[in-house]
Chains A and B, each alone.
Chain A
Amino acid sequence: MKKKAIAWVLTAVIALSCCGCGSTGDNAGAASDGTQAAATEAGGAAENGGALTEVSSDPSEWPVVSIQVPALTDLPDEPIVEDALNEYLVSINAGVKANLVQSSFGDLANQLTLMLSDNQNPLDLFCWRFYSTLDGCVKNEQCIPLDGYMEEYSDMWAIFPENVLKTQQIGGVQYAVPSVDSYGTYEVYNLQKDIAEELGIADRDGERITKEEMTQIMKNVVEKHPEMAAMINTNDEPFIGIDTFGNSNWLGVLLNRGVGTTEVVNLYETQEWRDYCYMMKDWADAGIFIDDPLNNELTISQYNNGIAAGCFLGGYSADYIKALIAYSPYESVQFQLTDLVGTSSSVLGGWMISTVCKNPDAAMKMLYLMTMDENVARIMILGVEGVHYTVDEKGIARRPEGVTQATSTWNQDCPWFYPNQCLSIPLETEMTTYYTDMLDAPNHAQFSEAMGFVFDSTPVYDQMAACTTVVAQYRDALLYGLVDVDSYLEKFNEELKAAGIDDIIAAEQEQFDAWRAAQ
């Protein structure tokens, strides 16, 4: 009996692997053809601005565009949302259909890399946010230029301010459609209302305070509540006051968030940074931080579960920030810390067409619809009306009875990930002007001199890579006041120098000057 079983398995295996062999050969040919085709098409589109003019009357012949959808866990309702979206696309005779590809944030690094190297079953539309940078995607040739689509979709490009569009360009070539946002934020110190009342400062809600006042408030907090921390994470560019050109390692920055300054400096050598490190050491010694900040989850959940009484938050208005944090079990007060400023980093993401995409024209059409069509945007952001949400009389989306953020079968918490969240409606908040205020915010913001400047790191590629590792190694310890500032900073700077940070800064200054001259 046993023998027979094994013999059968062996036979089956042989048969299987033979089939495998056969198909290997065939597909090898097909695949390389595909690559060729994709490459020519991509080229053609970029040159001619190829339009998706002829729409077949039969929707089943329409090209299907696969689109990245953000997720944290498995979204069981993906087919339902996809069907609803396609039904709508058919109803407007869009000429393209969608295939939603959910990608879990934690696995992005692996999975996007693989999908973007797969030209047989390609991912067509993706957003660089959380995965890489505009610069990185362009350098690795993961996305195609969109210049060919400027005229055809001019109404789409027109909804973005000039300097916002520029943030998604390299060398004057448009590579991505920015995600619509307020483009400018200020930072607040967000504190539990109960504790603010205890300290007698609850009535100062919304007031602007200085760094020293903030430090004092936090010291008072931990004095009253030694069991709590007063701050979660300090990796906060606006509070430090820098425009980083979108580089999260801060290798070359403009101080004062780039408002009124054009000198690229090495932040880590500045007095400002040294002072900031001292301040962090002071905070750490006063017990303001959570213990073991480097391993603890420095996320807002520490505020929500009462471990930290306060934290930094950013947004374009106090109401907006209150709305963002409304789901928290604690009511809060906010103290404004900085001006409303927009930098390149305020444009948090951009949508791209991948180089493996076989039909860039169709992908572009889809991206256009995601940015301009209210229904498309809303289905992707909120799911299906009546299934995943209902709209109340104030125009706010509400989850169905008994459904919470954790149990929702569609991820409704990442509107900001999509190209145009402002086409959607606010979710579970009392702030009806959530999106309208967002659109208005840029009118009140100051902008960095470097808004729209994108550094092309190719000439200093090696230095960038080397400095990145140095920063990964040293910076956090300084940010959380874990080490002696002077000696550690000295070592840090020595290694940065050795890794070639000066070359980076020189290159940045040079490109930045050239860019400004061209404006």
Chain B
Amino acid sequence: MAGNNRGFRIAANIIMTLLTIACLTPFILLLVASITDEAVLTLNGYSFIPEKINFAAYNYLFMSINRIAKAYGITIFVTFVGTTLNISMTTAFAYLLSKRDLPGRSFLSFFIFFTMLFSGGMIPSYIIWSQYMHVADSLLGLILPNLAMSAYNIILMRTYFTTNVPLEIMEAAEIDSCSEIGMLFRIALPLSKPMLSTVALFSALAYWNDWINGLYYLIRRNDLYSIQNVLNSMMNNVQFLKENTMDASAAKFTSQIPTQGVRMAIAVISVVPIMIIYPFFQKAFIKGIVIGGVKG
């Protein structure tokens, strides 16, 4: 009997190890590709053990260190400010919705939920944000449109407030004539730390991985591109050159395409920070998934 159970456990460990490897290997392949010699990469293909190691791709990136460093700085700044903004607005809204006897509660819930389904598309959004809100061509263009609040996060947090902040404590506080805002800061928020860090992480990831805002709102200021914009723009250019292949006069131009190695190197430097920061948030993140997944 015990043997049976032990066997099961060993099997579980083996399968989990395999799955873990499956999750990890593509990233390793990417990393190795970025330090593989370009000729070897073209000829022998992607491999985990390159025949010849060459840091040329990183040297190339280092040459344009100014641009890369700036893009990095912008990504970090935007992620930080955007996440702060997102958390504040989300918390405020979700807390309001968590009040069960709130007048207009179902209207507001529907108001939020509706945004998850309908959207007017690229051009109307662009017109509103650039012409009426004037966020284009500045860092606000990276921060405000689309990402500063998401219906999903509000619903997550509302659920958390209603399920994890005991009503009794709230009522007791109310009797102690604690104000509504005071209750938010003194009771609800301290009890909701895991949820806060989860929403923060979701939001930070969204900002970090976003390239759409830069594409739309930094048309005249591509010097303000974030690192994902640089990566995406490079991909798009490669795609463009593929499509307009051998236009004779354009021929010379096409020799500007960054090599595969360089593209892989940029991809690597765009994920590395996530990989580094993630373990610190891991616990809260998992907790957040649980809450969001089951109740969201």
Does chain A touch chain B in the assembled complex, meaning CB atoms less than 8 Å apart?
A: yes
Q: How far is the CA of A108 from the CA of B248 in the complex (A)?
A: 20
Task: Show 6 A/B contacts (Cβ-Cβ < 8 Å), sorted by A.
Answer: A102-B222, A108-B240, A115-B219, A121-B131, A232-B246, A301-B255
CB distance from B252 to the nearest CB of A (A): 6
CB of B245 within 8 A of CB of A298, answer yes
What residues on A are CB-neighbors of B42 within 8 Å? 305, 307
Of A39-47, A54-62, A90-98, A311-319, the one touching chain B: A311-319
Whether a CB of chain A sits under 8 angstroms from the CB of B30 is no
Point out the residue from B38, B85, B130 that lies within 8 Å of A13, measured CB to CB. Answer: B85
Given A106-B237, A111-B215, do A324 and B249 touch, yes or no (CB 8 Å)? Answer: yes
Measured between beta carbons, the chain A residues less than 8 angstroms from B216 are 110-111, 114
B12 is an interface residue with CB less than 8 A from chain A: no
Minimum C-beta distance from A293 to chain B (A): 10
Pick from A73, A102, A314, A406: contact of B248, CB under 8 Å: A314
Chain B nearest CB from A417 CB (Å) reads 9
Q: A9-B84, A23-B134, A110-B215 are in contact. Are A105 and B240 (CB under 8 A)?
A: yes
Q: Is A28 an interface residue (CB 8 A)?
A: yes
Measured between beta carbons, the chain A residues less than 8 angstroms from B241 are 105, 297, 299
**Cβ of B187 to closest chain A Cβ, rounded Å:** 12
| B239 CB contacts on chain A under 8 angstroms | 106
A461 → B minimal CB distance (Å):
20
The verdict on B136 contacting chain A, using a C-beta distance below 8 Å, is: yes
Contacting pair A300 B251 (CB below 8 A): yes
Which of A3, A7, A118, A304 is within 8 Å of B131, CB to CB?
A: A118
> Which listed residue (B126, B136, B245) contacts A299, Cβ 8 A?
B245
* Known contacts A300-B255, A413-B252, A117 near B127 by CB under 8 Å: yes
- The answer to whether A120 touches B130, judged by C-beta atoms less than 8 angstroms apart, is yes
Q: Cβ of A31 and Cβ of B251 under 8 Å apart?
A: no
Identify which of residues 32-48 in chain B touch chain A, using a CB-to-CB cut-off of 8 Å: 38, 42-43
Interface residues on B, range: 35 or more
**Known: A9-B85, A74-B67. Is A298-B132 also a contact (CB below 8 A)?**
no
Specify which chain B residues have a CB less than 8 angstroms from the CB of A325 in the assembled complex: 251-252
Cα distance A458–B122 when bound, in Å? 25
Given contacts A20-B133, A305-B42, contact A74 B225 (CB under 8 A): yes
A465 within 8 A of B: no
The residues in A between 79 and 116 inclusive whose CB is less than 8 angstroms from any CB of B are: 101-108, 110-111, 113-115
The interface residues of chain A lying within 8 Å CB-to-CB of B18 are none
Q: List, in ascending order, chain A residues with CB within 8 A of B6's CB.
A: none
Contacts of B215 in A (CB 8 A): 107, 110-111
| B53 contacts A by Cβ under 8 Å | no
Asked if B110 CB lies within 8 Å of chain A CBs, one says no
Contacts of B84 in A (CB 8 A): 9
Query: Which residues of chain A are within 8 angstroms of B67 by Cβ–Cβ distance?
Result: 74
Q: Which 5 A-B pairs have the closest CB atoms?
A: A106-B236, A106-B237, A314-B248, A416-B249, A299-B254
Known: A6-B91, A413-B253. 17 other contacts (CB 8 A): A3-B185, A7-B185, A9-B84, A27-B134, A73-B233, A74-B223, A117-B123, A117-B127, A118-B126, A118-B131, A120-B130, A297-B257, A298-B242, A304-B255, A313-B246, A313-B248, A413-B252
Q: Do A299 and B134 contact each other (CB < 8 Å), given the known contacts A105-B240, A110-B215, A118-B126? A: no
B100 to chain A, nearest CB (A): 23
Size range of the chain A interface in the assembly: 35 or more
A72 to B256, CA, bound (A): 8
Chain B residue contacts of A433, Cβ below 8 A: none
Q: Which of A105, A115, A299, A301 has the most CB of B within 10 A?
A: A299
Q: Are A117 and B126 in contact (CB under 8 A)?
A: yes
- B147 to chain A: closest CB distance in Å? 14
Chain A stretch 390-416: residues in CB contact (< 8 A) with chain B: 405-407, 413-414, 416
Could you say which of A20, A106, A312 has the most chain B C-beta atoms within 10 Å of its C-beta?
A106
With a CB–CB cut-off of 8 A, which chain A residues contact B254?
299-301
Pair A114/B256 contact, Cβ less than 8 Å: no
A188 to chain B, nearest CB (A): 9
Q: Is A37 an interface residue (CB 8 A)?
A: no
Instruction: Tell me if B248 and A321 are in contact (CB < 8 A).
Output: yes
A6 contacts which of B185, B223, B242 (Cβ < 8 Å)? Answer: B185
- CB atoms of A106 and B245 under 8 A apart: no
Query: Least Cβ distance of A211 to chain B in Å?
Result: 18
Given contacts A24-B133, A74-B67, A325-B251, is CB(A103)–CB(B219) below 8 Å?
yes
- Complex Cα gap A376–B122 (Å): 35
Q: Residues of A contacting B122 with CB < 8 Å? A: 110, 113-114
Chain A residue at minimum C-beta to C-beta distance from B60: A406
| Beta-carbon contact of A324 and B88 below 8 Å | no
- Of B84, B220, B237, most A-chain CB atoms within 10 Å: B220
Looking at the assembled complex, report how far the CB atom of B122 sits from the nearest CB atom of chain A, in whole angstroms. Answer: 7
Q: Is A161 on the interface with B (CB-CB < 8 A)?
A: no
Residue A76 contacts which of B89, B223, B234, B238 (CB distance < 8 angstroms)?
A: B223
Question: Would you list which residues of chain B between 196 and 249 have a CB under 8 Å from chain A?
Answer: 215-216, 219-220, 222-223, 225, 233-242, 244-249
**Chain B hits for A102, CB < 8 A:** 222
> Which DSSP category, helix, strand, loop or mixed, fits chain B's interface?
helix
Given A120-B130, A299-B242, A301-B254, check contact A6 B88 (CB 8 Å): yes
Does B256 lie within 8 Å of A413, measured CB to CB?
yes
A153 close to B (CB within 8 Å): no
Residues of B within 8 A of A130 (CB): 240, 244
Provide the residues of chain B in CB contact with A115, threshold 8 Å. Answer: 219
A327 at the interface (CB under 8 A from B): yes
Within 366-388 of A, Cβ neighbours of B (below 8 Å) are at: none
Give complex CA distance A76, B223 in Å: 8
A236 within 8 A of partner (CB) = yes
CB of A257, distance to nearest CB on chain B (Å): 16
CA distance A178 to B124 in the complex (A): 32
Q: How far is the CA of A24 from the CA of B132 in the complex (A)?
A: 5
Q: Is B61's beta carbon under 8 Å from chain A? A: no
Whether B130 contacts A327 by the Cβ 8 Å rule is no
Asked whether A498 is an interface residue with its Cβ less than 8 Å from the other chain, the reply is no
Q: Are B85 and A235 in contact, CB atoms less than 8 angstroms apart?
A: no
Q: Which residues of B contact A13 (CB under 8 A)?
A: 85, 88-89
B66 nearest CB across to chain A (Å):
9
Q: Could you tell me if B220 and A101 are in contact, using CB atoms closer than 8 angstroms?
A: yes
Inter-chain contact A405/B244, CB cutoff 8 Å? no
Residue of A nearest to B70 (CB): A74
Give the distance in Å from the alpha carbon of A189 to the alpha carbon of B63 in the complex.
36
In Å, the complex CA distance between A24 and B130 comes to: 11
B-chain residues with CB within 8 Å of residue A414 when the two chains form the complex = 250, 253
Q: Does B31 contact A (CB under 8 A)?
A: no
B74 within 8 A of A: no
Q: What 1/0 flags go to B84-102 for Cβ under 8 Å of A?
A: 1100110110000000000
Interface residue A354 (Cβ < 8 Å from any Cβ of B): no
- The distance in angstroms between the C-alpha atoms of A353 and B233, with both chains bound, is 26
The answer to whether A235 touches B245, judged by C-beta atoms less than 8 angstroms apart, is: yes
B246 contact from A233, A304, A406, Cβ within 8 A? A233
Query: Among the listed A106, A311, A313, which residue makes an inter-chain contact with B233, where contact means beta carbons less than 8 Å apart?
Result: A106
Tell whether A113 pairs with B123 under 8 Å between CB atoms, given A106-B235, A297-B238, A299-B257. Answer: yes
Chain A residues near B134 (CB, 8 Å)?
Answer: 23, 27
The CA of A314 and the CA of B251, in the complex, are separated in Å by 10
Task: Tell me the minimal C-beta distance from A311 to chain B in angstroms.
Answer: 6
Which B residue sits closest to A114, measured CB to CB?
B126
- Interface assignment of A167: CB less than 8 Å from any CB of chain B: no
